Amino acid sequence: MKYGLITVLICIVIYEIFEHIILPLFWRIRYRKRNSACGPEGMIGKKCTVQQWNGTSGKVRVGAELWNASSPTPLIPGDEPVVKSIEGLTLRVSSQLERLPDLPIKRFDKDHAHDSSK
């Protein structure tokens, strides 16, 4: 009986150490570089919808919340810019057109369009 009780107590102590020390350390190490999914850091990179805009500032809706926002480019209500950063209670947004890579422009030359002799 005495050895059975000691074995049970040792198992409980080992389980508690594993549950409260080893598992939290494992999860912290595994997910330490992941960005927060909530709070201000979780909003960066999300699309928002422009509700009101005047010049370079206005109001945007992110999820169910209405935020003050600013952008270097003018936007119109209904646009869906992306949140780039947060400064205080103001979101810095940019239109999705700014995110596109620079593509080479192909020009159509009327003079040589039907010239197959070359």
Strand segments (E) across the chain: 49-54, 57-62, 65-70, 82-87, 90-94
Q: Determine the Cα–Cα distance for residues 47 and 43; give it in Å rounded to an integer.
A: 9
- Decide: pTM greater than 0.85: no
Residue from 95, 98, 97, 65 nearest 83 by CA: 95
What amino acid occupies position 20? H
CA atoms within 13 A of residue 3's CA, in its CB half-sphere: 0
Average the pLDDT over each of 5-9, 14-18, 27-31, 45-49 and give the range with the smallest value. 27-31
Q: Would you state the pLDDT for residue 20?
A: 93
What is the mean predicted confidence (pLDDT) over 42-51?
A: 90
For residue 47, the SS3 value is strand
pLDDT value at residue 31: 81
φ/ψ bin of 66: left (φ > 0), alpha (ψ from -120 to 50), beta (otherwise): beta
Answer for the pair 77, 50: CB distance below 8 angstroms, yes or no: yes
Task: Express each pLDDT in 49-99 by its tens digit.
Answer: 999 999 889 999 998 889 999 999 889 999 999 999 999 899 999 987 654
